[in-house]
Amino acid sequence: MVRGKRKKPTTIPNQVPTGQTRVVNIGPLLLELRDALRRAERCRIALFRMGYSRKRWLEIVNEVNPELRFVLKSQMLDPIVTYLKSVGKPVNRSRLSRELYAQAAGPMQRIRQSITVNLRSGNLMLYPGNRVGLPGWKTTKE
């Protein structure tokens, strides 16, 4: 078997050949992406609070930049916060998930996961008696 000369791999001119350097350069890019996603989420929430329907703010986003539609999908946090504000006090965790399920906010598993994720991130707060509420609420001793 005759072997010829091996071809050199083609590289992009600005591409860094070593993996170590590539990892170092990706850090600031990931931080920038995280910040952009947070800004987009704040805009989505602001539009929701202004009373724009989901359909309307998706149209707005599509007009601004169609590629951002994936970022601005409706979140499970919106119906949770809406329900908690309507009740006005911390609610038992299982009751909250049952009520949201009855309102067709989503599948039970997704509702429970969303409550857990938002408790961990600080968007919601766990109160005594396994009750869930908004972080700004103060509890009184019963």
The per-residue pLDDT for range 53-80, each reduced to its tens digit, is: 777 877 777 777 766 655 555 577 888 8
Can you give the pLDDT at residue 126?
A: 93
Compute the average pLDDT of residues 30-40. Answer: 80
The per-residue pLDDT for range 81-113, each reduced to its tens digit, is: 889 989 999 999 999 999 999 988 888 998 999
Alpha-carbon distances of 138 from 85, 88, 120, 134, 141, rounded to whole Å = 14, 11, 19, 9, 10
Identify the residue with better confidence: 88 or 38.
88
The per-residue pLDDT for range 8-17, each reduced to its tens digit, is: 655 555 555 5
* Closest listed residue to residue 111, CA positions, set 70, 75, 84: 75
pLDDT band at 141 (very low <50, low <70, confident <90, very high): very low
The per-residue pLDDT for range 111-136, each reduced to its tens digit, is: 999 899 889 888 899 999 999 998 88
